[in-house]
């Protein structure tokens, strides 16, 4: 979904609560009947989620093994792995997949470094810090469609200020950023970074504020340079936060749709055709529901594989 929709919350219960609550809870009036009461309270939320979220998802996965098409009274039959053998030979899809990976990794990595830099600055006692902080949060509240419209203005070949600036310093200022084969994907990635800065910055800043100040002081007295303190104290302390936020960013970016749909609609010539846009066209423009669902399945498997290896390697190096 849209990047604005997400706030960062990595569900973890603080340890102290767990210990504190177990002993106390049974005392609260009527709570020993906990199990049934809990189900009753959860039911109003559970029913719609199961009906319109769990069920469609299961259905969607199954649909990937059928030849379902749009339109009424279409007989749907299971065709096993036909969709996938067809997908294997679909160069357009794999090209879109490659673009999707470049986009997702490009945005996530750039976003991380930009956000880390900003978070480090915001953690210092600088003037104008409030302004940077406020500005860094604005993209979070903006609808992605409007972020895209705004950047279309910025990147407009004739009216846009970016070309205007290039012209004023004597460079060729007639670049069609979103329409040119070589610049479209990089331009779209820059917009993706802009749009996703808030969550990453805020999370990293919260992480930084939890890094022990005593350790820093002790290291400073021992004569460690700023860089060495950053490398040996800040970074290791920040590690869980970094792993969590880059994982989420990667998923969100890989699944993002609205921003690029409005910016380029996948053009020029499919240069920015993210897998989500490709599958959307397949399903709702050409009506190949089964085939599009199969693409969705492939996307899940590959992103899940990436996450598995990333999280496992992080868990391992944390243990060692």
Footprint (CB under 8 A) of other proteins, residues 88-127: 114, 117-118, 121, 124, 126-127
What is the closest distance, in whole angstroms, from the C-beta atom of residue 182 to other proteins in the complex? 22
Per rule CB under 8 A, is residue 177 in the interface with other proteins? no
**Rounded CA Rg of the chain:** 24
What is the closest distance, in whole angstroms, from the C-beta atom of residue 53 to other proteins in the complex? 5
Q: How far apart are CA 93 and CA 98, in angstroms?
A: 9
In the chain, where do the E strands start and end?
A: none
Which distant-in-sequence residues (6+ apart) come within 8 Å of 200 by Cβ?
111, 112, 115, 245, 249
Per rule CB under 8 A, is residue 13 in the interface with other proteins? yes
Per rule CB under 8 A, is residue 135 in the interface with other proteins? yes
Q: Is the preceding peptide bond at 268 cis, omega within 30 degrees of 0?
A: yes
Residues 224-283 that bind other proteins (CB under 8 A): 225-226, 240-241, 244-245, 248, 251-252, 254-255, 257-258, 261-262, 275-276, 279-280, 283
What is the closest distance, in whole angstroms, from the C-beta atom of residue 219 to other proteins in the complex? 10
Q: How far apart are CA 123 and CA 117, in angstroms?
A: 10
Residue 1 Cα distances to 37, 189, 254, 255, angstroms: 33, 17, 10, 7
Per rule CB under 8 A, is residue 77 in the interface with other proteins? no
Give the number of residues in contact with other proteins, rule: CB under 8 A: 126
Among candidate residues 307, 247, 246, the one with its CA nearest the CA of residue 113? 246
Is-contact 308 220, C-beta < 8 A? Answer: no
What is the closest distance, in whole angstroms, from the C-beta atom of residue 54 to other proteins in the complex? 8
Among 69, 220, 230, 314, which residue interacts with other proteins (rule: CB under 8 A)? 220
Among 110, 132, 166, 215, which residue interacts with other proteins (rule: CB under 8 A)? 132
Residues 31-70 that bind other proteins (CB under 8 A): 31, 34-35, 37-39, 41-42, 44-46, 48-49, 52-57, 59-61, 63-64, 68
Q: Which residue lies nearer to other proteins by CB, 185 or 296?
A: 296
Is-contact 298 84, C-beta < 8 A? Answer: yes
Token couple for 234: 């800040």
Q: Which residue lies nearer to other proteins by CB, 84 or 280?
A: 280
């Amino acid at each position: 979904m849209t990047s604005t929709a997400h706030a960062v919350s990595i569900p973890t219960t603080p340890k102290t609560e767990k210990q504190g609550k177990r002993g106390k809870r049974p005392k609260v009036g009527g709570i020993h009947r906990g199990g049934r009461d809990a189900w009753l309270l959860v039911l109003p939320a559970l029913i719609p989620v199961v009906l319109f979220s769990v069920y469609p998802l299961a259905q969607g996965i199954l649909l990937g093994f059928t030849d379902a098409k749009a339109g009424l009274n279409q007989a749907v039959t299971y065709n096993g792995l036909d969709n996938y053998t067809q997908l294997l030979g679909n160069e357009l899809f794999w090209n879109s997949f490659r673009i999707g990976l470049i986009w997702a990794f490009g945005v996530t990595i750039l976003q991380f470094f930009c956000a880390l830099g900003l978070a480090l600055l915001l953690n210092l006692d600088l003037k104008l810090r409030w302004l940077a902080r406020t500005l860094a949060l604005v993209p979070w509240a903006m609808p992605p469609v409007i972020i895209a419209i705004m950047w279309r203005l910025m990147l407009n070949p004739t009216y846009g200020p970016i070309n205007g600036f290039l012209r004023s310093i004597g460079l060729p200022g007639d670049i069609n950023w979103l329409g040119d084969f070589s610049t479209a994907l990089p331009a779209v990635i820059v917009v993706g970074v802009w749009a996703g800065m808030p969550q990453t910055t805020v999370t990293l800043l919260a992480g930084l504020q939890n890094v022990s100040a005593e350790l820093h002081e002790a290291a400073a007295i021992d004569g460690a340079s700023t860089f060495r303190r950053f490398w040996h104290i800040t970074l290791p302390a920040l590690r869980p936060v970094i792993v969590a936020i880059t994982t989420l960013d990667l998923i969100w970016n890989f699944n993002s749709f609205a921003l690029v749909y409005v910016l380029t609609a996948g053009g020029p010539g499919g240069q920015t055709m993210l897998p989500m846009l490709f599958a959307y066209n397949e399903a709702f423009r050409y009506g190949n529901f089964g085939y599009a669902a199969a693409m969705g399945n492939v996307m899940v498997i590959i992103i899940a594989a990436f996450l598995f290896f990333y999280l496992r390697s992080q868990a391992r190096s944390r243990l060692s």
